Structure 1
Amino acid sequence: NRKGFGFPQQMVEGDQLQEAQAISVLHEMLQQSFTLFHTECFFAAWDTALLEQLCTGLQQQVDDLDACQGQVTGEEDSALGRMGPTLVLKRYFHGIHVYLKEKEYSDCTWEIIRVEM
C-alpha cells in the first residue's frame, strides 16, 4: 500500500527563491529529515551504524547552515517560516509522519519512506 507524497520540487528549486529563502528551505529540509530519521522507530528498520552516520551528517549540515543563516537572513526571515516553500515542506513532512503513524511505523512503511526521499 504505497502512497505518493508528492515532493514539492517546483516550489524549492530554480531562480524563484531569494538567497535567504533558499537557505531557509534547505534548513527546513535538513531539519525535517533529521527529525524523521532520528526517531526511535526508524532505528529498528535500518542498519544502526548507517543511520547514525546519516543523522550525524544531517546534524552537521544543519549546524553549518545555522551559521550561514544568521549571516544572510535578516528580520524578514521570521515570516519565511510561515509562508511559501518552507510551509509547503513542513506540510510534505507532516504527511510522511501521519502516514508512518497510520501504518504503525512498520518496516515496510519505513522502506517506502526511504525510497520516497
Structure 2
Amino acid sequence: MTSRYILQTALLVYFSTTVLAMNYNLLRFQLSSSSVECQELLLQLNGTSKDCLKDRMNFKIPEEIQKSQKFQKEDIVLVTLEMFQKTSDIFRRNLSSMGWNESIVENLLATLHWQKEHLEEILEDIMQEENFTWDHRTLLHLKRYYLRIVRYLKAKEFSVCAWTIVQAEILKSFFFLDKLIDSLPN
C-alpha cells in the first residue's frame, strides 16, 4: 500500500515541477493529497491509549492558523512549508523506544521531505516573480507552537504516552492545515 503512495508521489514530482508553481488549483490538490497521506500514515502508528489521557496538554496552535485567516497564496505556501518542516523535525527525534513500524515513519518522513523540497521551489519562484511581503509574527507563533511540542517530548523523556499525545496533536495540526489549504485562492 505504501509503495503505491511512493509511486504516486514520484509521478507527481515528475509531471508537476514547474507547472505547480503557477497553477494553484493543482497546488491545492497536491498539498491536500500530501496532507491526507501524512494523516493516514500517522493513524497507522497506533498511538492511542486511554492511559495517556493524564499526559494531555494544550500546545496552543496559533490562532491565525486555527481560524484560517485570509492568507494570500504565498503565505499559505510558507505556512505549509513550515508545518511540514517542523513535523518532519519532530518525527526525526528519539523514536527508537516507541516500537512504531519504522517503514511507516520512513514513509511519513519521505512524504514530508518531498513536499518540503517542492514547496521551497514554489516559494522561490513566488519570491522572484512577485513583491512578496510576509508578516513574520505568524511564522514566529508557528515556530513557538512546535517548540512547545519538542519541549514536552523532552520533559516527558520521549515516553510512549508523550509520543501518543504528540501524534494526536500533529493529526490535529493537519486538520487546520487542510482548512488552510482549502482556502488557497485561485
TM-score bracket, shorter-length normalisation = 0.7 to 0.9
Q: Deviations over 1:82-112 (max 9, x none)?
A: 8222111100000001111111111110011
Correspondence 1:54-93 to 2 at 5 A: 54-74=108-128, 80=134, 83-93=136-146
**2: CA distance between counterparts of 1:88 and 1:76?**
23
Give the TM-score, by structure 1 length: 0.85
Partner of 1:38: 92
Aligned to 1:97: 150
Give the 4+ runs in structure 1 shifted more than 4 A: 74-77
**Offset, 1:36:** 0.6
Asked whether the 8 Å contact 1:23–1:69 carries over to 2, the reply is yes
What is the Cα deviation at residue 43 of structure 1?
A: 4.0
Equivalent position SS for 1:42: coil
Within 2, Cα distance between the matches of 1:3 and 1:36? 16
Structure 2 letter corresponding to 1:94:
L
How far the C-alpha of 1:19 sits from its partner, in A, is 2.0
Higher Cα Rg, which structure = 2
**What whole-Å deviation, never above 9, does each CA across 1:49-69 have from its counterpart, x for those lacking one?**
100000000000001101101
In structure 2, relative to structure 1, the CA distance for the partners of 1:87 and 1:104 (3 Å cut) is same
CA separation of 1:105/1:76 partners in 2, compared to 1, >3 Å: closer, same or farther?
A: farther
Name the structure 2 match of 1:25. Answer: 79
Aligned to 2:163: 110
- Structure 2 unaligned runs (5+)? 1-54, 171-186
Aligned partners of 2:105 and 2:143: how far apart in 1? 22
Percent of residue pairs identical: 29
Residue in 2 that maps onto 1:2: 56
**Which residue identity does 1:105 align to in structure 2?**
F
Cα gap change, 1:7/1:66 in structure 2, threshold over 3 Å: closer, same or farther? Answer: same
